[in-house]
Amino acid sequence: MNNTNKSSAAILGVLLVVGLSVMGLLLKQAIIEYKLLDRSVTVKGLAQNEYPADVVIWPIQFTAASNGLEALYEQIDSQTALINQFLISNEITTDEVTQSAPTITDKLAQQYGGNQTVEYRYTALQTITVYSTDIEKVRSAMPELTQLGKKGIVFSQNNYDAQIEYIFTRLNEVKPQMIEQSTRNARLVADKFAKDSDSQLGKIKRASQGQFSISNRDKNNPHIKRVRVVSTIEYYLAD
| 8-state DSSP, 143 | G
Q: What is the pLDDT of residues 188-207, one digit of tens each?
A: 999 998 898 888 898 898 99
Q: Residue 18 belongs to what domain range?
A: 1-38
Residue 70: CATH number of its domain: 3.30.70.260
Report the mean per-residue pLDDT for the chain: 86
Cβ–Cβ under 8 Å, residues 97 and 141: no
Rounded Cα–Cα distance for residues 39 and 35 (Å): 7
- In the chain, the number of structural domains is 3
Rounded Cα–Cα distance for residues 178 and 214 (Å): 13
Q: Are residues 125 and 210 in the same domain?
A: no
> What's residue 160's pLDDT?
80
Q: Lowest-pLDDT range, 18-27, 85-94, 132-141, 169-178?
A: 18-27
Rounded Cα–Cα distance for residues 135 and 224 (Å): 10
Q: Are residues 64 and 144 in the same domain?
A: yes
Q: What is the pLDDT of residues 44-76, one digit of tens each?
A: 999 999 999 999 999 999 999 999 999 999 999
Domain boundary among 167, 202, 228: 167
Rounded Cα–Cα distance for residues 50 and 57 (Å): 20
Residue 164: pLDDT band with limits 50, 70, 90: very high
Strands, DSSP E only, in 100-188?
Answer: 103-106, 122-132, 154-155, 165-167
> 174: which residues sit within 8 A by CB, 6+ positions away?
49, 51, 227
Q: Are residues 163 and 191 in the same domain?
A: no
Q: Are residues 178 and 197 in the same domain?
A: yes
Q: Is the pLDDT of residue 167 over 50?
A: yes
Share of the chain above pLDDT 90, in %: 64
Identify which of 164, 168, 170 has the alpha carbon closest to the alpha carbon of residue 219.
164
Average pLDDT over residues 32-50: 77
Q: Are residues 157 and 172 in the same domain?
A: no
Q: Is the pLDDT of residue 113 over 70?
A: no
